[in-house]
Amino acid sequence: MSIMKNLVLNFPAQIKEAISIGEAATITSSKAPIHHVLVTGLGGSGIGGTILAEVVAGQCPVPILVNKDYFLPAFVNENTLVVVSSYSGNTEETMEAMQIALTKKAKVVCVTSGGKIAEMARAHELDLIMIPGGMPPRSCLGYSLTQLFYILHGLNLIDASFKKQLQAALTMMESDQEAIQAEAHKLTSFLYQKLPVIYAADGYNGVATRFRQQINENSKMLCWHHILPEMNHNELVGWAEQHPECAVVFLRNDNDYFRTQTRMEISKEIIGQRDAQIHELWSKGDSQLERSLYLIHVTDWASCYIADKKGIDAVEVNVINHLKGALAKL
């Protein structure tokens, strides 16, 4: 089994270890009331912030935003919780954003496996959650995402319900592993040698983004995604022409809002008339967190299986390494 497939197989065990890390973590009280939360991070380290914000949107009393740049919004101040998420601890955009957060006297909590961010956190006596290192950042979502829930819970911004939801997701992924991989194989056959297009209901933007990122990095393919109902107000018109090169995946949930589900059915009809192939991937689980993790696990597997069919290494990211090398010369 390839390195990346072993890492995907280990996703449930990773979450189990991440729970132990989160339970042992110490999150100190903020000196000022928290009025907003900002998760700053990129790629596999940043996507957890988007998923977190959507999962706890109905519970967290303050807004949660995600930052993917060198800079921070002007609202960041002593009333802001800034979660610095960088798996390597050396992401240059995240390091610069962290420096700004410190100058603005925000409450800063770091999640990393080491690097300069860990050094900065210790130097400034910040809350620091260390996660295991030495793996591709995109393969460690279980570690980073889980800590975000524990951080918010530690600051009394969410209750402890996420713990039961994580355990339910673990049980489901472990017991249904064979079926999950079978579902991923179906998805792989559907997407192979096509241009993937991913659609999901609002609330699952993070999951759809994660799927796209895994197709990009593991499968070495271009693809795009959009969210309904927003997609119905613009992108749907783009299907006025025939697109036989596209393979459209709808990420579905039984509890999606009924009008959004109707929009999906009508959209499927319109897209199907444009010679594009359509596949539906239905989630499993009783909570949004459980359903999100199920969809992530299936689509992570699919991204690896596509790499296998193409005869390529899912782990390598030579193009990104080239970019980083060029930037290092500045």
* Sequence ranges of the domains in the chain: 3-159, 175-310
Among 231, 151, 233, 243, smallest CA distance to 195 is for 243
Percent of the chain with pLDDT over 70: 100
Mean per-residue pLDDT for 164-171?
Answer: 97
**Phi, psi dihedrals of residue 49, rounded to the nearest 5°:** -65, -40
Task: Please indicate whether the domains covering 3-159 and 175-310 agree at the CATH topology level.
Answer: yes
Mean per-residue pLDDT for 53-78?
Answer: 98
115-156 pLDDT per residue, tens:
999 999 999 999 999 999 999 999 999 999 999 999 999 999
Look at residue 84 in the predicted model and tell me its pLDDT: 98
Mean per-residue pLDDT for 220-226?
Answer: 98
Say what the alpha-carbon torsion angle 4, 327, 45, 134 is, to the nearest 10 degrees: 50
| Active-site annotation holder among 31, 125, 233, 329 | 233
pLDDT of residue 72 exceeding 90, the answer is: yes
User: Residue 23: which pLDDT band, with cuts at 50, 70 and 90?
Assistant: very high
Mean per-residue pLDDT for 210-214?
Answer: 98
Q: 233 catalytic, yes or no?
A: yes
Which CATH number applies to 3-159? 3.40.50.10490
Q: 268 catalytic, yes or no?
A: no
Mean per-residue pLDDT for 42-49?
Answer: 97
Look at residue 131 in the predicted model and tell me its pLDDT: 98
281-302 pLDDT per residue, tens:
999 999 999 999 999 999 999 9
User: Residue 206: which pLDDT band, with cuts at 50, 70 and 90?
Assistant: very high
How far CA 87 is from CA of 83, 92, 96, 144, in Å, comes to 13, 12, 15, 8
Mean per-residue pLDDT for 30-50?
Answer: 97
Q: Is domain 175-310 classified as CATH 3.40.50.10490? A: yes
Give the whole-angstrom CA distance, residue 282 versus residue 299.
12
CA angle, 49 then 213 then 289, to 5°: 45
| Active-site annotation holder among 217, 220, 284, 297 | 217
Q: 17 catalytic, yes or no?
A: no
| Active-site annotation holder among 185, 309, 322, 324 | 324
Give the whole-angstrom CA distance, residue 207 versus residue 281.
12
Largest Cα span, the chain: 60
Q: Is residue 241 a contact partner of residue 274, using CB atoms and an 8 Å limit?
A: yes
Token output for 54 = 């959507």
Look at residue 120 in the predicted model and tell me its pLDDT: 98
Look at residue 170 in the predicted model and tell me its pLDDT: 96
Mean per-residue pLDDT for 227-247?
Answer: 97
Per residue, what are the HEC states of 31-84?
CCCCCEEEEECCHHHHHHHHHHHHHCCCCCCCCEEEECCCCCCCCCCCCEEEEE
Give the whole-angstrom CA distance, residue 172 versus residue 98.
37
User: Residue 1: which pLDDT band, with cuts at 50, 70 and 90?
Assistant: confident
Residue in this structure with the two tokens 């992401």, named with its chain if needed:
91
Whole-number average pLDDT of the chain? 97
pLDDT of residue 315 exceeding 90, the answer is: yes
Look at residue 185 in the predicted model and tell me its pLDDT: 98
